[in-house]
Chains A and B, each alone.
Chain A
């Protein structure tokens, strides 16, 4: 039986195994016991990509975004320290 994992992601049961699957394009990312982020596309962007008022974060933080590698759906956005992101 399927159950949600988060917006645009679900746990899909098939062939006796549980998988992390994109609900927009049905792309299978990985097994449910794996870190789905490692199977996605990740971009590090200037914080101002989230709006001009994020300018005070420049030089300290980056905007990290994680996308479905198949359809480009945005799955996660986070602020990470530049040292952590590089």
Chain B
């Protein structure tokens, strides 16, 4: 296919300057969210999105935001245009709020704020943000409601409302919204940081129109989108046509499957989720736009990793998701758990199919990595040591190990979002960490190994009620975590485990380190989707997912295995049994001749007994 990625109507230098400025404006919106926001989701986890759109709602610039939210906010802009262009009007300095998952949001907790950008009275574009608000008035504190069987159990659902009217905050609307949550002050901060970020976007865009003229900015915008689409289509066309598939599984009190077949033909990609399970009476379901957005994000992370993130990267994609399934929920199906369950699973299979496709390309086959099928995590709520009710998040999910690549090991505790500061958490909430560290022996083995995930344990401390509430979410079931690629082994499963009635207080009183769970006694149980209490002397253990390995462990450089043994990532037994590497007990050095012999023997053993 012939493409013309070089800018034709704008000189290349001006194009570079203005396109990077559009990227930076989206980035600066994110900085405003972090600085004005007050909750851990926004200020420490960076669970937010900030991006720019054309006047018709097409994505213009996504900054570094999560791709699926960028796509969904584009749907939100279009829904706002449909609702308000003839009803109440879209005026300069308005800001709209939308969190309806059946229209554009992923789940209600992710509250979109949409702002038109006018210049000299003409609508030129839009900005949009979301933050995961700390509460949304659902059944469970924090918004993720394991007990919800329909959308009406999951909190406030707004299909579009004007929150700021021509620059003036509608205090009645603002108060009505925050009044329906358990944390009105913190949710108020969440909303105000979104207003601030949208104001930053408007101010910067208007300055750009003033300096360069709206015609030039519009021309650059069009060229950016054309550029991304043209390059992406060219890259897709270079890959051999074919079909690839995978299935993701969520286990709780039932089993739900997400099936995907990816068909690549010419410069077009079709993601077909036919055959996925019927929608659940559990909030793991995905709205169609979220499934679409997850596929868009998979493209942004692979074939379009270096391209401007905009509507051009959407155009070669088609997504089929049958209505009434876990990937295209219809009313009244619940959704509140979906981002970290159904969403994580859709992202996993989308990336898995793309990875298999890339592996078949002479040009791209080295650009693959083992993928993560999700993790477990929790929210917590109760009365804190200062006597105030609170709701917050345990953001350990940021401590997932990443998957191995075709040419390097995965990163240890190195996922995209970031994790809360323990001292900050302990000073605000009645919790005491026993440990947070890399999990030994958790990484998936391979020619290149996965990254180790983190593990944490905590108990309550100075809780006035002697207990707090937890909410368990994530990809339930044990086939989560990192999955191996092309022979690489899976990482250890991600677990959420409550150990009740331990000796943790006694252990601490005796000035012993409580860093070895078996020594603390108690009765342990894995937590499915549920609410649970953490009482005095209970311990909550969280093991995040670890990266899957890449390729055959018997092909791993023995020196790398030795380094892992020295670092405690791999035990000497695993070095021998999985990697076929023999390390001298006395000198701690690799016995090369014996290693070669052992590896040959292990290969023969594989062939001796077949199913």
> B584 an interface residue at 8 Å Cβ cutoff?
no
Contact A7 B406, beta carbon cutoff 8 Å: yes
Q: Kindly state whether residue B490 has any CB partner on chain A within 8 Å.
A: yes
Given contact pairs A5-B359, A51-B574, A77 touches B607 in the complex (Cβ within 8 A): no
Option from A4, A8, A50, A69 in Cβ contact (under 8 Å) with B552? A8
| Minimum CB distance partner of A47 in chain B | B490
Q: Shortest Cβ distance from A70 into chain B, in angstroms?
A: 9
Contact B489 A77 (CB under 8 A): yes
Q: Among residues 30 to 69 in chain A, which have CB atoms less than 8 Å away from a CB atom of chain B?
A: 41-44, 49-54, 56-57, 60-61, 63, 65, 67, 69
Chain B residues near A67: list those with CB within 8 A: 606-607
If A4-B360, A8-B486, A8-B487 touch, does A56 touch B611 (CB 8 Å cutoff)?
no
Q: CA of A76 to CA of B246 in the docked complex: distance in angstroms?
A: 14
| C-alpha spacing A7/B493, complex, angstroms | 24
Name the residue among B361, B406, B483, B489 with the largest chain A CB count within 10 angstroms: B489
Residues on B with C-beta less than 8 A from A43 are: 606, 609-611
**Min CB–CB distance A6 → chain B (angstroms):** 5
List the count of A-B residue pairs having beta carbons below 8 Å apart: 109
B478 in contact with A3 (CB, 8 Å) = no
Cβ-based interface call for A79 (8 A): yes
Please tell me if the beta carbons of B361 and A3 are within 8 angstroms of each other in the complex. yes
Question: Do the beta carbons of B442 and A51 come within 8 Å of each other?
Answer: yes
By a CB distance below 8 angstroms, the chain A residues around B144 are: none
Q: Are A41 and B607 in contact (CB under 8 A)?
A: yes
Residues of A close to B360: CB separation below 8 A: 3-6, 11
- Interfacial residues of chain B within 483-498, with CB under 8 A of chain A in the complex: 483-490, 492-493, 495
- In the bound complex, how far is the Cα of B490 from the Cα of A61, in angstroms? 12
Q: Chain B contacts of A7 at CB under 8 A?
A: 359, 406, 447, 485-487, 550-552
Interface residues of A, dominant DSSP:
strand
Partner of A50, one of B439, B444, B611: B444
Q: How far is the CA of A49 from the CA of B553 in the complex (A)?
A: 12
CB distance from A81 to the nearest CB of B (A): 8
Least Cβ–Cβ distance between B422 and chain A, in angstroms: 23
CB-defined contacts of B478 to chain A, threshold 8 Å: 56-57, 60-61
Is B441's CB under 8 angstroms from A51's CB? yes
B425-449 contacts to A (CB < 8 Å): 439, 441-442, 444-445, 447
Cβ of B565 within 8 Å of any chain A Cβ, yes or no, is no
Chain B residues, CB < 8 A from A50: 444-445, 489-490, 578
**B518 at interface (Cβ–Cβ under 8 A)?**
no
Chain B contacts for A79, CB-based, 8 A? 479, 483, 490
Q: In the complex the two chains form, is B578's CB within 8 Å of A4's CB?
A: no
The answer to whether the Cβ of B88 comes within 8 Å of any Cβ in the partner chain is no
Given A51-B442, A60-B478, answer yes or no on A44-B611 (Cβ-Cβ < 8 Å). yes
Residues of chain A lying within 8 A (CB to CB) of residue B604: 72
> Are B359 and A4 neighbours in the complex by a CB distance under 8 Å?
yes
Verify if B554 is at the interface (C-beta below 8 Å from A): yes
Cβ B489 vs Cβ A73 within 8 A: no
* Residue A75 is within 8 A (CB to CB) of chain B in the complex: yes
Known A3-B362, A51-B445, A54-B493; contact A72-B578, beta-carbon cutoff 8 A: no
A41 B606 Cβ-Cβ under 8 A: yes
List the A residue with the shortest CB-CB distance to B577.
Answer: A49
Q: Which residues of A contact B603 (CB under 8 A)?
A: 71-73
A43-B606, A50-B445, A56-B478 known; A6+B356 contact, CB < 8 A: yes
A5 to chain B: closest residue by CB: B360
**Closest B residue to A66 using CB positions:** B487
With both chains docked as a complex, state the minimum distance between the C-beta of A48 and any C-beta of chain B, in angstroms.
Answer: 10
Residues of B within 8 A of A56 (CB): 478, 493, 495, 526
Instruction: Say which residue of B359, B439, B488, B574 sits within 8 Å of A77 (CB atoms).
Output: B488
Q: C-beta contact mask, B116-135 vs A, less than 8 Å → 1, else 0?
A: 00000000000000000000
Query: Which residues of chain A come closer than 8 Å to B406, judged between CB atoms?
Result: 7
Cβ proximity bits A15-36 to B, threshold 8 Å, 1 near / 0 not: 0000000000000000000000
> Bound complex: CA of A56 vs CA of B525, how far in Å?
12
Contact with A along B341-373 (1 / 0, CB 8 A): 000000000000000100111100100000000
What 9 A-B pairs have minimum CB-CB distances, sorted nearest first? A72-B603, A53-B492, A7-B486, A74-B552, A74-B487, A50-B489, A4-B365, A41-B610, A72-B606
17 cross-chain CB contacts under 8 A: A4-B360, A4-B361, A4-B365, A7-B552, A8-B486, A50-B444, A50-B490, A51-B441, A51-B445, A54-B490, A56-B493, A63-B489, A72-B602, A73-B603, A77-B487, A77-B490, A79-B483
Spell out A's residues near B (CB within 8 Å): 3-8, 11, 41-44, 49-54, 56-57, 60-61, 63, 65, 67, 69, 71-79
**Sample of 20 more A-B contacts, CB < 8 Å, known A63-B489, A69-B607:** A3-B240, A4-B359, A4-B362, A6-B356, A7-B486, A7-B487, A7-B551, A8-B551, A41-B610, A50-B444, A50-B490, A51-B574, A56-B495, A65-B487, A73-B487, A73-B603, A76-B486, A77-B484, A77-B490, A78-B484
